Amino acid sequence: MQDMIYTGSSVATMIKGDKPYGLISDATFVVQNKRIAWVGKTADLPARFVHMKSEDLGGRVVTPALIDCHTHLVFAGSRALEFADRLGGASYQEIALNGGGIVSTVLATRNATDEQLVTQSLRRLDCLIGEGVAVVEIKSGYGLTIEDELRMLRIARTLATLRPVKIVTTWLAAHAIPPEYRLRADEYIDQIAIPGLQRGVKEGLIDAVDGFCEEIAFSAQQIERLFKIAKSLNIPVKLHAEQLSDQKGALLAARYNGLSADHLEHLAATDVAEFASSGAVAVLLPGAFYTLRETKLPPIQQLRKHDVDIAIATDCNPGSSPLSSIITAMNMACTEFLMTPEEALTGVTRSAAKALNLSKQFGVIAPGVVAELAVWNIDHPAELSYWLGGCVLYKRISQMVEA
């Protein structure tokens, strides 16, 4: 990437302050050594930069590159028939208890070759990249043996060598109980989830640990045993919490200094203050809410009141959220959860970076952060939540790709 001055844009810095979106109109920013060196009003550009090569962005809006902080993007096959069953009245829980749901994707994923998994995953990843996404979190959770879970994470890491994107990997062996451990969830935690975590950490494959805390998956006690090991290994935790019922998972994640608790439709309003005091991010997943035709909203007002950082993600997965469009997720956050367009954009930039422990490098436009930006064919940043998907990206400015 060349050092360059970019003039002629409106820059949504997404820095917290008085101005919505941290917006600077008539802005210029300077990229030097793959970092942002300066951003401000064009009229204020310091003389030391004026000799540099420059590009006029034609009045477009610039934001930090987007971040999808919760996906299950590596998997094989689809669950279109389960979708049809659900529309016919079967619930997500019933399907799971009858051996379908997550377990059916586990069988498809175990049976797929590495090449098939890479090809299918790249299709979804390319959709995200085409919408200005530069950082994607990808979870394991469709292998459910030590080898298959580690294979998923290796494939996730491989994707970053094939595309200009940063991939963050999460150990989600505690996602479902595989058929061979039916009714033996504790043994599964002891024999697969924990030893696999220890091995994956040794191999440098794991950035964080996640679990599915739910009646149809793992109890808070079982998740806590896994979290204790994560803590001893110095790996941060996060949790699928309160998606279908209130298991007090968000408070468990908070007690373990979690990066985030995700879903949260059933988080009790009275638990928000305690959750907030931990500093964890609330990751909301409107694609899953929409797909499962949920009706109970996450406690947004309480989250706002207690100043919890709220991130938005696609939850890209074949069951509850077959969604590879972060722009659509932003729109859904507004239409379904009544978030503001500014909250939605914050949710896929600054707050998403915080949920991945990447706040110093990504998520805002400020001197020192990595030069990962998105330039949009729009006049105002609110448009990013307004368009229901679609092609609004003009281009990325990226240190991972020669733009």
CB of 53 to ligand NIG, least distance (A): 44
Q: Find the binding residues for ligand NIG in span 104-143 (CB under 6 A).
A: 105
Nearer to ligand NIG, 62 or 206 (CB): 206
Closest distance to Fe ion from the beta carbon of 279 (Å): 21
Which partner from the list ligand NIG, Fe ion, none does 319 bind, CB cut-off 5 to 8 Å by kind? ligand NIG
| Residue 331 binds which of ligand NIG, Fe ion, none (CB < 5-8 A, kind-dependent) | none
Residue 341 · residue 40 · CB < 8 Å: no
CA pair distance 321, 288, nearest whole angstrom: 5
Interacting partner of 105 out of ligand NIG, Fe ion, none (Cβ under 5 to 8 A depending on kind)? ligand NIG
Number of residues that bind ligand NIG (CB under 6 A): 14
149 binds, among Fe ion, ligand NIG, none (CB under 5 to 8 A by kind): none
Site string for ligand NIG, 315-344 (x = CB under 6 A): x-xxxxx-----------------------
137 binds Fe ion, rule: CB under 5 A:
no
Residue 102 binding: pick among Fe ion, ligand NIG, none (C-beta 5-8 Å cut-off by kind): ligand NIG
Residue given tokens 């389960």 in the structure block: 82
Amino acid in the structure at residue 225? R
Q: Cα angle at 143 between 223 and 351, to 5 degrees? A: 55
Q: How far is CA 41 from CA 12, 30, 46, 376, 394, in A?
A: 12, 12, 10, 19, 22
d(CA 222, CA 90): 28
Q: Residue 243 binds which entry of Fe ion, ligand NIG, none, with Cβ cut-offs from 5 to 8 Å by kind?
A: ligand NIG
Q: DSSP for 253-303?
A: HHHTT-SEEEE-TT--GGGHHHHHHTT-EEEE-HHHHHHTT--PPP-HHHH
Q: Which stretch binds ligand NIG (CB under 6 A): 38-46, 154-162, 218-226, 312-320?
A: 312-320
Range 189-248, binding ligand NIG (CB under 6 A): 212, 240, 243
Cβ atoms of 254 and 213 within 8 Å: the answer is no
Q: Does 286 bind ligand NIG (CB under 6 A)?
A: no
Sheet holding 35-41, edge to edge: 35-41, 23-32, 4-12, 54-64, 372-376, 393-398
* Binding-site partner at residue 320 among ligand NIG, Fe ion, none, CB < 5 to 8 Å by type: ligand NIG
Does 288 bind ligand NIG (CB under 6 A)? Our answer is: yes
Q: Does 315 bind Fe ion (CB under 5 A)?
A: yes
DSSP E strands, 65-200: 66-68, 133-139, 166-174
Query: CB–CB of 201/239 below 8 Å?
Result: no
Q: Which residues bind Fe ion (CB under 5 A)?
A: 315
Q: Which residues bind ligand NIG (CB under 6 A)?
A: 72, 101-102, 105, 212, 240, 243, 288, 315, 317-321
